[in-house]
Amino acid sequence: MTETFNLLWMLLLCAGVNLPFGRWRSRQEKFSFLWWLFIHAPVPLIIALRVYLHVHWAFIPLCVAMAALGQYLGGKRGKNRE
């Protein structure tokens, strides 16, 4: 039960942490330094969180997918506000 809770918490945080970064990324010129930075900045936090919550390495692709979803949704929200 604890492993399932940790995995769900991890997946929600992967998406949630990337929402503001996706919004900020959407306002930058594509392939600029800041655009690249806003994509990669949350990665160390997600890695530390995965290690802290003892989420198995086999779930990394799922975490990456949730992070990409957070970037996408944040980018959509950022473009709608302009």
Split at pLDDT 50, 70, 90, the class of 59 is very high
pLDDT tens digits, one per residue of 17-30? 999 999 999 999 99
Report, as an integer, the average pLDDT of 16-43.
Answer: 96
Residue closest to 39 by CA, chosen among 21, 56, 27:
21
Q: What is the pLDDT of residue 39?
A: 96
Q: Look at residue 78 and tell me whether its pLDDT is greater than 90.
A: no
Q: What is the pLDDT of residue 1?
A: 75
Percent of the chain at pLDDT > 70 equals 96
Distance between CA atoms of 71 and 24, rounded to whole angstroms? 9
